[in-house]
Amino acid sequence: MDIIESHIVPTGVTKTRLSDYGKGIFKLLPSRKGFKKAILRGNILVDGEVASTGHWVMPGQEIALKNTSQRSIKVLEKVVPVVYEDEHLAIINKPGGLMVSGNSFQTLVNALPFNLKESAEEDKLPVFYPVHRIDAPTCGLVMIAKTKRAQIKLGSMFEQKEIEKTYRAVVHGIPSPEKGTVDMPVDGKPSVSNYNCIRQSKSKRFGDLSVVDLQPLTGRTHQLRKHMQLLGHPILGDKLYGTPDNILHAKGLFLCASRLKFVHPLSNKLLDISIDPPNKFDYYINREAKRYEMSISE
């Protein structure tokens, strides 16, 4: 039997209905509604047996998400740039505004069959599997497992922090010091990020803007966005953590997952994959700098 994901119920969990407990335990099923649908389709197993929505979860049980014999997703015919691909994994450049997965048809998961080649390996996954997530407004690199071996090993590598992730962002103001570490809890959990200011520019509208490279050392939800806001330098275009004047019409969030560095889990080859952020990064900063120069020369 081909299992996509599995989860062991930890000690301390009180007696809970499976349909309530399952939200978020599998990356491919982040919502309660999606998890419940998977139960009704017979894709959820508890200790190897097909489960029902009324099953009671107890500590020590293994909950598994199994594959179907054919792809169970509707294909979204949307071109997504493929930055790297082999038989075991792929790295794509997700556009800003596209969710990685979810109940919507307009997701990266639905677009992957339109953009990636089916693996020739025996343990190929019938559904291409994103092994990590980035926020919908964030653009940039997302790693995809194409085989079961890659899925398991990459998942472990992310948990062991063996994959180096770098983001490029435009923020308000100039961080001081210009290079440092943010060690501030996010949602009550320890959270650490590194930042490095690589460019500064004057802005008529904002006073100063900075381009920064960010490295999350922990994996909290919206960690980089929250950390920069806590530093007093929110990311440009951030509707959740910025101020009302932070929003630029139709420009989106100025945050890009720009680099992934890791050892390939099957070939042991070092991969260092990077992309340039969207053109809007340089365009907006250069435009603001020109407007500032014009305003002081008047």
> Which residues belong to the active site?
135
186: closest CA among 213, 234, 221?
Answer: 221
Distance CA 285, CA 188 (A): 34
